[in-house]
Amino acid sequence: MKSCLFTCETISAHFNSLGDRNRRANYRSSCIINTKPLDLTDPTLFINRELSLLEFNRRVVEQAKDETNPLLERLRFLCIASSNLDEFFEIRVAGLKQQAAYQAVQLGPDQLSAADQLKRIGETAQLLVAEQYRILNDVLMPELSVEGIGFMRQAQWSARQRSWVRRHFYRELMPVLSPIGLDPSHPFPRILNKSLNFLVSLDGTDAFGRDSGIAIVQAPRALPRIIAMPTELANGRLEFVLLSSIIQAHVEDLFPGMQVTGCYQFRVTRNSELFVENEEVEDLLRALEGELHQRRFGDAVRLEVADECPAQLTHLLQNEFDLGEEDIYRCKGPVNLQRLMTVPDLIDRPDLKFPAFTPSRHRRLALNADMFEVMRRGDLLLHHPFQSFAPVIEFVRQAAADPAVLVIRQTLYRSGPDSPIVKTLVEAARAGKEVTVVVELKARFDEEANIELATQLQEAGAHVVYGVVGYKTHAKMLLVVRREGKQLRRYVHLSTGNYHPRTTRSYTDFGLFTCNNALATDVQRIFQQLTAPGRASRLKKILQSPFSFHTGMLELIQREIDNARKGRPARIVAKMNALVEVQIISALYAASSAGVCIELIVRGVCALRPGLPGVSENIRVRSVIGRFLEHSRVFYFQNDDAPEVYLSSADWMGRNFFNRIETCLPIEDRRVRDRIIKEGLENYLQDNTRAWELGSEGTYTRVATNGRPRDAQLQLLEQFREP
């Protein structure tokens, strides 16, 4: 029997010919039906989550080698991978180290212990880091030099350049550096998480007769890590000097009369997971403020050190931070590649960057359009970043200025420190509107910014709550209540992404404007849950975590299984950031075995193993890595040719189903639904330029470009390009 067909032609034919019974029958017969019972306790059916996350970072690193990407964007991809690895160690590896220390016995579906995972992570991550530095040193730096962009090492400085560096050191660095010699009265200093430091070896005695031989120099975070050489000294090129090079060149000036025998960069990564005991906290904001300081000095989980650092000095650091040999990463270059992220922004070379684009305005949204009137005429979908986020900001502004608007309610997970939406909510509250904002204080690495904006809102008179203790509020909702004649009408915006103007320029997301009464009623009820105690009301349309989202997805998958068994059209297409929840994966395996054809577009972590005979040969998994971060969550169920499409704020992960407040809304407007299918699913299933396919062994291979190249994101940019 043939395997499930997943060619671009088949996909396109399927989505465009739902009324053609013969073509449906032919498509249906291509799916394998397995009648053998599945052993879903078999650990080989599941890919390890952490190793899958490293695979995602490998795909990002590959973008730095891809010559179809502009040169400075390739450097940016390398920095993004470095940033991703930082968070991976701060959260995922830190958690595994804690499990290993406490000898935790609870295993994941792959049955790998914490110790086994750490071993395999170490082996994989070491190779990945080595590849990053190889690409930087052997590929990107030479290519940048050809383009007149350089990073000058000490040996390359001319006499005039060396003089300028010295003046810069004495003027900008010397006054703020605090070298610390290690001796009984100067213990090893506390090293901030991910800060740049130097281990200095010394010969000789100082004025007090001390001869410890070792000192630490910490680079303040306020200092820029990349310094541009003055134009008149750069010989017509763009030359940069690393802060580390300047400090190393003049480190002897910090220890007068001593001989510096070595100076080596190092950086330590610490456990950054905040721990707040929800049951014992009376004031979540104050508890988090206390924890944020501790994040800087959590347990060490990784040590990065210059590759030329002698073994005995590396061992000294290793002992100081209580790390094993497997936790040491020797770096052939800057110990923090992420610091190079600023370089593209310092260089005015459009030819070395992605072409600039202006997000288009929706055709129904003329400049200064009345958002309420537009929504009364029908649902409106925005596809970011291809379509502008400005209408969302305009909606809040119009609501704040409209005397007929009585209430504005919004969730904020990540919004940025200078959010125009927050400023508008402040103005609305000061104008006497009833403004209620659910601020998620525990949005990872945005806690400090969210505490600040919560304070701003409270001082303006807005009602600020922090959701439900023990559950992160991750739903993206905005509700406006407006008096129109003798009735109150509710207007809603729901989104797959955050209310963050900057990330809407780089993340792909869908946002829906609607005044559909059933959806608006559901949103109002969810806000009521978030602000006041009471039993959860049954929602009419929206599936909600932690109550109905998980069971709802399982029921929709089961319906496809039932249709397949009855010989009816059965198909699932799902796009998300991560897929790890065991029951959902088991249900997808059962669906595949029943003959349901399943396409999954999973950007990052995927614990499902496709292509296993008798289990998942009807499942195809792909990942698209391109200019924009794929962030939208879209779920399609064929439903016997009465297709249903859902947009969600949540991935198919345990935390999203059971430990967060999430929304998943059905798209009932046919025009909106067809747009989502075409732009958000079919378009990505046809991508043969930026797509990677997951094999049953757990690794990804680049999809071959056969025929005309198809780049999903580029096609959307062209589609929405302003004339």
Residues classed as catalytic: 474
Q: What is the distance between the alpha carbons of residues 299 and 89, in angstroms, rounded to a whole number?
A: 11
- State the Cα–Cα distance between residues 279 and 710, nearest whole angstrom: 52
DSSP state of 89: I
Rounded distance between C-alpha atoms, residue 181 and residue 667, angstroms = 65
User: How far apart are the C-alpha atoms of 381 and 362, rounded to whole Å?
Assistant: 8
Rounded to whole angstroms, how far apart are CA atoms 582 and 38?
Answer: 14
Question: Which residues touch 41 (CB under 8 Å, ≥6 apart)?
Answer: none
549 Rama sector, left if φ>0, alpha if ψ -120 to 50, beta otherwise = alpha
User: Phi, psi at residue 446, to the nearest 5°?
Assistant: -115, 15
Q: For residues 245 and 529, what is the distance between their CA atoms, to the nearest angstrom?
A: 55
Amino acid residing at 261: T
Closest Cα partner for 549 from 471, 667, 660, 670?
A: 660
By the 8 A CB rule, do 667 and 647 touch? Answer: yes
At 598, which helix (H) or strand (E)?
strand 597-602
Check if the beta carbon of residue 276 is closer than 8 Å to that of residue 246: no
Please say whether the beta carbons of 476 and 544 come within 8 A.
no
Burial 400-420, CB ≥16 within 10 A → b, else e: bebeebebbbbbbbbbbeebb
CA angle 29, 35, 37 (to 5 degrees): 145
Which residue reads 């310092």 in tokens? 346
Q: Is the peptide bond before 220 cis (omega within 30 degrees of 0)?
A: no
Give the span between the Cα atoms of 375 and 590, in whole angstroms: 41
| Upstream peptide bond of 359 is cis (omega within 30 degrees of 0) | no
CA distances from 331 to 123, 126, 149 (A): 15, 10, 22
312, 306 Cβ separation under 8 angstroms: no
